[in-house]
Amino acid sequence: MTTVEEWRSAFTPRPVHGYLEDTVRQFGDRPAIDFLGRMWSYAQLGALVDKTAAGLQAIGVKPGVHVGLCLPNTPYYTIFYFAILKIGGTVVNFNPLYVKREIEFQARDADVRIMVTLDLKMIFDTVEAVRAEGALDKIIVCSMSSCLPTVKSIAFKLLKRKEVARIPDGTTHIRFEDLTKGVGRPESVEIDPETATAVLQYTGGTTGVPKGAMLTHRNLSANIEQMNCVFQMAKKGEEKLLCVLPFFHVFAMTAAQNLSVILGAEMVLQPRFELKSLLNVITRKKVTLFPGVPTIYTAINNSPLTQKYDLSSIRVCISGGAPLPVEVKQKFEALTRCVLVEGYGLTETSPVAAVNPLDGTGKTGSIGTLVPGTKARFCSIEDRNTVLPDGEKGELCLQGPQVMKGYWKRPDATEETIEADGFLHTGDVGYIDPDGFIYLVDRIKDLILCSGYNVYPRVVEEAIYLHEAVAEVIVIGIPDPYRGQSPKAFVKLKEGYQLTEEELAAFLKDQLSAIELPREYEFRTELPKTMVGKLSKKELVEEELAKRAAQVG
């Protein structure tokens, strides 16, 4: 068995775009992307990346320039991702479901002046509103109809005209086809994988407002190599990987897109999760690899539609983003005869840190063993400087080449999260057994994991505070049988004001994305506070747990 030291000595950091170039050379004629029936080979993908990179250089993108991607899963995401990295730029991922104030906050915080998005009104209009506020200089607009198969493209133009945004003329808006009209190859750029930030991925970290985790080329290339080791069973150049998780999420970026590239696998892109469409594409395309989140596997398990489709082509699924319930794993494996394993990671670890063996020999309830090149230790929750013996419960801390460089413009948060010896505090409590399997038993941080997405209580609280009737608010995560967790808001109103759940929910629809909207509201005359007067979540979390325990009892 390869030791951590042996793996680290064998690993050579490299620029991320080099993996695509390797695959283009080896599997150029193989399918790279299937988007709703339209196909691109790896050779075609490589050529589009080069054209896009040259076009980006022509408008000023160079090493150190941050470019935003506000895109669902379409070929454009992969094209721009590798094009930006190839010329030394930094990718900043944006959730296209974010509302204006969320996109504006992140764009300003990340120093993004160029944004790439689609010509769909629901996305473009929000990005354009951010530009109008002065937070962006240029928007690169990609045509949805242009990346569809011919028949679907014609139907889209005829039936979906009202969903297409009007793109203003002028130098502030650049169409994708105009960007890629120039020379076919970009000028070569020197990239130091040890120091160059490839992706600025926003996360809540352990607490508070979202922060940008600086993931270097070294971090991402290490995680790509680590996933390659995990997937030794894969047949390079033959696999078909279902990409339904959004690439702007760090799990999908690595475990779907980048993994596909190193395996020479065909990426079967789904722009959004819709169960019938998902089942149909698995059956039609004979998908073999399927990374997902527990919510998706639960939906497949519980739908009567599932029995009508053939899912037998699936060989391996990795679940991430949230804890995988045992009953969900067992039922899904019985339905498909595949292996469904749980993995674990953080934005700050690029993200994969541990995963159960893909041969099905993992342990129920465990997040698996560490991926190659990674070390773990468990520290006392009361005294983080005290390292506990194996088997004792403490905060999980991780060290490895995939651990981020730090938080963007937040040296204080970086110092708090990463120790001098490189160990990262995860905020998760657990222990390791004699066989090296890690179990998580609790969470230190307030982060809410909703369908595999990070929902930050403070962001939800700030949106609720925008309502004139609200005096105080606390948001916590409550158990949700479908999403894993959902936000619940406890609200105290200002004296003399009245507000109903329905009115507050309607108000928040323009302030929060759908995943962030509280599933429950509770109005109270007082909210719990600490001795120094700070609002306290602890009592409310305990109340909710006791209430649900009583309901079960």
pLDDT at 104 over 90: yes
**Tens digits of residue pLDDT in 303-346:** 999 999 999 999 999 999 878 888 889 999 999 999 999 999 99
Q: Give the confidence band of 553 by pLDDT, cuts at 50, 70, 90.
A: low
Question: Which residue type occupies 375?
Answer: K
Q: Give the confidence band of 381 by pLDDT, cuts at 50, 70, 90.
A: confident
**Tens digits of residue pLDDT in 232-289:** 999 999 999 999 999 999 999 999 999 999 999 999 999 999 999 999 999 999 999 9
How far apart CA 50 and CA 87 sit, in angstroms, is 10
The mean pLDDT of the chain is: 94
| Range with the poorest average pLDDT among 299-313, 395-409, 521-535 | 521-535
Average pLDDT score over residue span 478-483: 90
Q: How would you classify residue 365: left for phi > 0, otherwise alpha for psi between -120 and 50, otherwise beta? A: left
How far apart CA 451 and CA 443 sit, in angstroms, is 17
pLDDT at 207 over 50: no
With a pLDDT cut of 90, the percent of the chain lying above it is 82
Tell me the three-class secondary structure of 249-291, residue by residue. CHHHHHHHHHHHHHHCCEEEECCCCCHHHHHHHHHHHCCCECC
Average pLDDT score over residue span 338-365: 96
pLDDT at 206 over 80: no
- Residue identified by tokens 């979202």 is 210
Q: Which domains does the chain have, with CATH numbers?
A: 4-341 (3.40.50.12780), 448-552 (3.30.300.30)
pLDDT at 527 over 60: yes
Contact indicator for 499, 469 with CB cutoff of 8 Å: yes
Instruction: Write down the pLDDT at residue 324.
Output: 86
pLDDT at 72 over 90: yes
Instruction: Write down the pLDDT at residue 382.
Output: 81
pLDDT at 180 over 60: yes
Q: Give the confidence band of 533 by pLDDT, cuts at 50, 70, 90.
A: low
Buried b (16+ CB within 10 A) or exposed e, 307-345: eebebebbbbbbbbbbbbbeebbebbbebbebbbbbbbb
